[in-house]
Amino acid sequence: MNQKIYLSEDWLFNENFQEGMTATEYPEETLQPVRIPHTCKETPFHYFDESLYQMVSGYRRHLHIPTEWQGKRILLTFEGAGHDSTVYLNGNKVGEHHCGYTAFTVDLSAYASYGQDNVLCVRLDSREDLNVPPFGYVIDYMTYGGIYRDVYLEVKDQIALEDIFVHTLITPDEAQVTSEITFYEVAKDLNVRQYYMLKSDAVMSGVVSDVTSDNGWQFLCEQNVPTGTTAETPFRIQGTIPHPFLWDTEHPHLYLLKTQLWQGEQLLDEAEVTFGIRDAVFKKDGFYLNGKKLRIRGLNRHQSYPYVGYAMPESMQKLDADLLKKELGLNAVRTSHYPQSHYFLERCDELGLLVFTEFPGWQHIGDDTWKAQAVVNAEDMIRQYRNHPSIILWGVRINESPDDDPFYEKTNAVAHKLDPMRPTGGVRAIKKSHLLEDVYTYNDFLHDGETPGCDPKKKVTSDTDKPYLISEYNGHMYPTKAFDNEERRSEHAIRHANVLDAVAGQEDIAGSFGWCMFDYNTHKDFGSGDRICYHGVMDMFRNPKLAASVYACEQDEIPVLQITSSMDIGEHPGCNRGNLYILSNADSVRMYKNDRFIKEYRPEMSPYKHLKHGPILIDDFIGDALE
Ligand code: GAL
């Protein structure tokens, strides 16, 4: 029941889709055996362009469908395929999907041959001239193709749980848990039962000592589904959890909700949903988590990797979340510029990493067909991701696009309808643009090394009563390679500190997301001529640059000591080392030269007064060594 059967192995692939590939008979020797996740084209590290992955490719796989599945729905889900998919079973079209960043499901049952071999085929269009977001103009990132996220089967009865949206309301002694359940088909005399369990395995080890729950299933609620409930209207069921453990960035307690659908004594369907109990609100003066003000400190993340584009498995998706939270000490991430892997989001839930997630797009707004697809994308994003407690904000404007009120009225309405609990934002590059969202989210690229780290809220927002969040800074203002000279790498780090400090000094800015976590391949209009944007605080392989330490210094779990120089004078013009900084979260850093003590540095010596551990200038190389 509700078990996912992953179809990762045994696929055959061809860069050129041919009609014949959908048929049961096809000369398969010409096809290449591949596994999912798969990129339609492996790329060089740099100096390549998007023409490599512009193709209409074909995927083919045999599938034995057992006779026991007769009369059931055989649901096949693609978590992500770039960018336009048409799915066939035994030569018959079973569905299509027009977005490379959201999941979709097709039902195979109408064309299944039971007890026999079936042929599954996908025509996948990864060309950038598709009339869907984010395409239509230039884009500052590669939009790789391929079935790059998991594919799985689920076999379900006609009367089944279709979708469950869990939201909670915290009162002084308890949490009210509401589930909005959609049934696939509603028959008479149904009964829904729910149980909850604290997912202790999700609690970060060492952080929590007060878990008293026995971790068994606890009864939450039970309700009959009234006759006349339609499959379209969500059915609401409510229960309470006394003295709940709240989810936050330090103690990311997760609960598991088990929902069972009964008819008399027969269990028809069962589903589990992970959720968190937390109160996340943006106010005029900042962001509040469970009633406490929290400054958002994050970076933007693309979902790309060297050589394989988007095609990385669960372990690597989760690793990025770990790097952001544990190595860089951040409390937030923006999934620029599209919804990302659920594995990444699940890890954010487990780690307590706040997420701003947005629907696909980059600067350009297309025609009516394109916009209609964008609205569908917003719907799909919210339905598919709304149970993740880590998500605190939906991005429902095309990143850095101009105002388009009729369009954005629609995307906001969709978001508020499908998730009345979460606010909307929409990333803009234009000050004082129309605000149809709940939070004004703006890319502030003011800082150029000399200018202030950020603009004050009142200079940017069109409504100062609404919350304000900085969604990007730095990035193209100072591209820096991991192998650039020391001055540049050091200046890069200092600029990140300058912005972080300036934002922390403004009480009414909810926080900021720097551009960006790591370097990425890009189109010819951007980057350093080698098709790389060197905008990351890490390189493409997630190796940290000096700037990474500026972020890491703000956390307390792992000790950090980074000097912005290797002290090799030959690295510098005229052998003049220039300004050197200590990046550390230590209470004290003692500097020695040839084993001789020179000076002790403490956090309060940093001129960055709004950071816990800002960079400290090394201003003494002599100490009392002069005789
Ligand atoms: C922004 C854009 C990002 C990236 C960044 C570079 O304008 O939203 O995708 O291009 O600039 O700094």
Question: Whose CA is closest to atom 4 on ligand 1?
Answer: 140
CA of 9 to the centre of ligand 1 (A): 37
CA of 15 to the centre of ligand 1 (A): 31
CA angle 498, 499, 501 (to 5 degrees): 70
- For ligand 1, pick from 137, 138, 139, 140 the residue to mutate: most ligand atoms within 8 Å of CB: 140
Can you give the pLDDT at residue 214?
52
Every domain of the chain with CATH number 2.60.120.260 lies at 3-156
CA of 127 to the centre of ligand 1 (A): 22
Helical axes 314-322 vs 342-351, angle rounded to 10°: 40
State yes or no: pLDDT of 29 exceeds 70.
Answer: yes
State yes or no: pLDDT of 80 exceeds 80.
Answer: yes
3-156: which CATH topology? Jelly Rolls (2.60.120)
Q: Class for domain 294-354+398-557, per CATH?
A: alpha beta
Q: What is the mean pLDDT of residues 362-382?
A: 98
Cα–Cα distance measured from residue 247 to residue 257, given in angstroms and rounded to the nearest whole number: 15
Cα distances (angstroms) measured from residue 326 to each of 96, 203, 320, 559: 39, 14, 10, 11
- Ligand 1 atom nearest the C-alpha of 526 is 10
Q: What is the mean pLDDT of residues 106-110?
A: 98
Q: Take residue 588 and report the two structure tokens written for it.
A: 């004290």
Model confidence pLDDT, tens digit, residues 399-441? 999 999 999 999 999 999 999 999 999 999 999 999 999 999 9
Model confidence pLDDT, tens digit, residues 536-550? 999 999 999 999 999
Can you give the pLDDT at residue 206?
40
CA of 443 to the centre of ligand 1 (A): 8
Let me know if 95 is exposed, middle or buried by CB neighbors in 10 A (0-12, 13-18, 19+): middle
Every domain of the chain with CATH number 3.20.20.80 lies at 294-354+398-557
pLDDT-based confidence at 2, cuts 50/70/90? Answer: low
- For ligand 1, pick from 303, 362, 397, 472 the residue to mutate: most ligand atoms within 8 Å of CB: 472
**What 3-state class would DSSP assign to 379?**
helix
State yes or no: pLDDT of 231 exceeds 80.
Answer: no
- For ligand 1, pick from 338, 443, 480 the residue to mutate: most ligand atoms within 8 Å of CB: 443
- Ligand 1 atom nearest the C-alpha of 477 is 12
Q: Strand (E) positions, 52-145?
A: 56-65, 73-78, 81-82, 84-89, 92-97, 104-107, 116-125
CA of 374 to the centre of ligand 1 (A): 20
Residues 6+ apart with CB under 8 A from 570: none
In percent, the amount of the chain with pLDDT more than 70 equals: 97
Asked if 327 and 548 count as a contact pair (C-beta separation under 8 A), the reply is yes
Question: Whose CA is closest to atom 9 on ligand 1?
Answer: 140
pLDDT-based confidence at 371, cuts 50/70/90? Answer: very high
- Ligand 1 atom nearest the C-alpha of 427 is 8
Can you give the pLDDT at residue 618?
97
Residues 6+ apart with CB under 8 A from 324: 298, 299, 301, 330, 333, 353, 517
Q: Take residue 96 and report the two structure tokens written for it.
A: 């299509």
**What 3-state class would DSSP assign to 324?**
helix
Among 192, 194, 264, 196, smallest CA distance to 229 is for: 192
State yes or no: pLDDT of 239 exceeds 50.
Answer: yes
- Ligand 1 atom nearest the C-alpha of 363 is 8
- Ligand 1, CB cutoff 6 Å, lining residues: 140, 336, 399-400, 443, 472, 475-476, 515, 535
Asked if 331 and 298 count as a contact pair (C-beta separation under 8 A), the reply is yes
Can you give the pLDDT at residue 205?
42
Mean of the per-residue pLDDT values of the chain: 95
Q: What is the mean pLDDT of residues 65-86?
A: 98
Active site residues: 400, 472
CA of 119 to the centre of ligand 1 (A): 42
pTM of this structure: 0.96
Can you give the pLDDT at residue 233?
82
Residue in the structure block whose two tokens are 């057992």: 66
